[in-house]
Amino acid sequence: MHYLAICAIFRDEARYLAEWLTHYELQGVEHFYLYDDQSSDTPEEVLRPWLDRGVVTLHKVDATEQRQRWAYTHCINTHRNEAFWVGFFDIDEFAFVRNRPESLAEMMPRYEGFPGLGINWVCYGSSGFETPPGPLVTTSYQLRGMMGFRTGEPSFLKDGRAGTCADDFYPYNAHIKSIIRLDAVERMISPHSFLYRNDALAVSPSGRPIVDTTLRAFSRTVETATLRINHYWSKSKREFRTKIGRRRADIKEYYGEHIAFLREAGMNLEYDPSILPDACNIAEKIGVQFSPGTEAEWREREAFQKSRDLNAEAQVHFEELKAADRSSTR
C-alpha cells in the first residue's frame, strides 16, 4: 500500500506536469492517480517516464458534467485499498513543508488520528509577466497576494452573513485543499473538502478542527507557518487570458471576467520566495536551469505592482467589458 498518493484532474497542462510530479516526488509522494480531461497536448509523452516506472495511474475522463466530482469519486471508490493518504490537488498547486528538510510524507504520521488534513493555499498571480519568464512555475512567479486578501464573491460569503462588509467574506487564502485517509472518507463535498465517517472532522496543520465554515472548505484562520500550498492561480498574463477564455459565454460573462481581473490584480503585491529551495531541487532533478532572479529585481517588480491604481484600472476594465458585450449584440 502507498503511504501518500495524489489525485488530480487536468486538461492541456502537459508543459507543467514534469515540474509538478517531481515536486511531489521530492515531498515523498509515492503514487499519482491522474485524470486526463480530454487534453489535446499529448500529456502521455511527458508522463511516459512516470508511467514506465509505475508511479502514475492514468485515467481518461469522458465529456460529462461535473468531471472533477466524477474523477475524485472514482479515485476514492476505485483506489480505496491502494493508499493510506491521498491528497487532492490541482496541477497549479504545490504543497510543501516550511520546516525543511522534512517532507510532506514525513509530516503526515502526526495526523493519522484524524480523517483528513486541510492545508491553506497562498495565491500567486502573474507577477506582471506577459509570457512565462522561465521554465519553472515555481521560480517564474514570486509575487503573491496579501494573506488577508478578499473579494466580494458569493462563493466566499460566510454562512448567515449579509455580505455588506469585508468581514462577511472569507479571505481567499482561507480556502483549504485536502489530504484524506481513504479508510475514513465517505464522499466528496467540494473540490476542497470531504465528508468523513461518523462525521469526524479534518484538521488544520495546527490540529484545529475544520468545522462551522461553508462546505467545510475554509479554515477559520489562515495557517501557513508549517505547511502551505503555493497556488499559481493565473501564471503569465497570456496564460491567464487563455484560462478566462475557456469560461462559458453568457449574457453576464463580462462580470465573471471582471471578478477574475480583480483576483489576479490582487495576487501580485507581496514578494514571497519561500518555495525556492524546493524549486532548486526540482530544477536539478529534471535538468533545467535554476534562474529565480535576484531579490533586488523582485523588490522592484513588487514596488511597481503596489504603485498601481487598481481601483482606476478595475473601472476601466469593467467599462471595456461592458462595451464589448454591447457591441457583440448589435
What average pLDDT score do residues 215-241 get? Answer: 96
pLDDT tens per residue, range 88-138: 999 999 999 999 999 999 999 999 999 999 999 999 999 999 999 999 999
Helix (H) or strand (E) holding 143: strand 143-144
Q: Report how far residue 14's alpha carbon sits from residue 295's, in angstroms, rounded to the nearest whole number.
A: 30
Q: How far apart are CA 138 and CA 223, in angstroms?
A: 21
pLDDT of amino acid 247: 52
**pLDDT (tens digit, 9 = 90+) per residue, 3-30?**
999 999 999 999 999 999 999 999 999 9
Q: Specify the pLDDT at position 323.
A: 86
- Per-domain residue ranges of the chain: 2-249+273-292
Q: CA triplet 280, 28, 172: central angle to 5 degrees?
A: 75
**Per-residue pLDDT, 322:** 84
Under 8 Å between Cβ of 186 and 195: yes
Q: Residues near 165 by Cβ (< 8 Å), separated by ≥ 6?
A: none
Q: Which contacts of 149-152 are long-range, i.e. CB under 8 A and separated by 24 or more positions?
A: 149/123, 149/173, 149/266, 149/267, 151/259, 151/262, 151/263, 151/266
196/49 Cα distance (integer angstroms): 35
**pLDDT at position 83, please?**
99
Confidence of residue 152 (pLDDT cuts 50, 70, 90): confident
Architecture of domain 2-249+273-292: Alpha-Beta Complex (3.90)
Least confident segment among 2-6, 9-13, 30-34, 319-323 = 319-323
Residue positions counted in the chain: 330
| DSSP-assigned states of every residue in 237-254 | HHHHHHHHHTSPP-TTHH
Q: What is the pLDDT of residue 321?
A: 84
**Do 48 and 39 touch, CB atoms closer than 8 A?**
no
**The predicted structure's pLDDT at residue 259:** 84
Taking residues 67-79, report their average pLDDT: 97
Residue 142 near residue 274 (C-beta atoms within 8 A) = no
pLDDT confidence bin for 326, thresholds 50/70/90: very low
Nearest-angstrom CA–CA distance, 100 and 74? 34
**Model confidence at 246: pLDDT above 90:** no
Could you report the per-residue pLDDT of 280-308, keeping only the tens digit for each? 999 999 999 999 999 999 999 999 999 99
255-273: per-residue pLDDT in tens? Answer: 578 888 889 999 999 999 9
Model pLDDT, residue 291: 96
pLDDT tens for 189-209 read 999 999 999 999 999 999 999
